[in-house]
Amino acid sequence: MASSPDIPSADNTPENPGSGSPSETPDTTGAEGGQQRRGQVRARRAAVMAVPATLALAGLAVLTAQGALGVSFSISGMPFTVTAKSLDGTGFEQFGGLDNMIKDSPNEGDTGGQVLIVTSAIKKATLDSLCQSVDLGGVNLLIKAGSGSSKVEATDLTTDSTELSGDAAFKNIEIGNDASTLDKAGVQGPPGVFSQQADTVHIDNLRQTNYATTAAVFKLPGLRLSFSDSGC
């Protein structure tokens, strides 16, 4: 970070007095000395203020990596489709919420900039033949991965969806939890919100309409990105 212009450089720093006589001692009581002291005080204050900001950013990064936060960014408002032949997950949670666009987003339509979504959180997920597409207005951006022997892998995965379909099976499912008490995937929802969770989830023929996805780790073997007339 650049130094404050008020802090004197090494070339302009008064030398230590040679004989100790008053004439050789720098005058710090004048205007120049006052400016030096004010510059040093401002530099120290800036350094002190930067510490809590740095700690806050580091803490946010850790929480996101641990899956303790769901989606916390402003969505574009453009939905995208995700499909997979199958999904296997360990540590599954699901609860309702709202996603927000930026103020006066061109994509808000009559939504007021908010989209009612269902957040699905999975501690560890494996997906076979992942396909993701977004309609850019007549052409689709298409992403495919994991169609070979190596499958797509994700940890601390969250998806915010408006539609989800497939053939699902759960192990040790709990339905009707308060979303703030969930503990299977490390993500908690708002207090008083209906939710469910399970030890494991398996979904065949998965299809989602999503507005946001986050993951601490997302491995996409055999990644292919292209444009197409049709989506997933």
Is the pLDDT assigned to residue 185 strictly greater than 50?
yes
Per the CB < 8 A criterion, the answer to whether 90 and 124 are in contact is: yes
CA angle 146, 149, 150 (to 5 degrees): 50
Question: Mean pLDDT, to the nearest integer, of 201-223?
Answer: 97
Q: How high is the pLDDT of residue 181?
A: 97
Q: How high is the pLDDT of residue 57?
A: 37
Is the pLDDT assigned to residue 2 strictly greater than 50?
no
Question: Mean pLDDT, to the nearest integer, of 93-114?
Answer: 94
Higher pLDDT, 42 or 178: 178
Question: Mean pLDDT, to the nearest integer, of 91-120?
Answer: 95
Q: How high is the pLDDT of residue 63?
A: 39
Closest to 216 measured CA to CA, from 91, 79, 78, 101 = 91
Question: pLDDT tens digit string along 136-170?
Answer: 998 999 999 999 999 999 999 999 999 999 999 99
Question: pLDDT tens digit string along 21-36?
Answer: 444 444 545 555 555 5
Rounded to two decimals, the pTM is 0.70
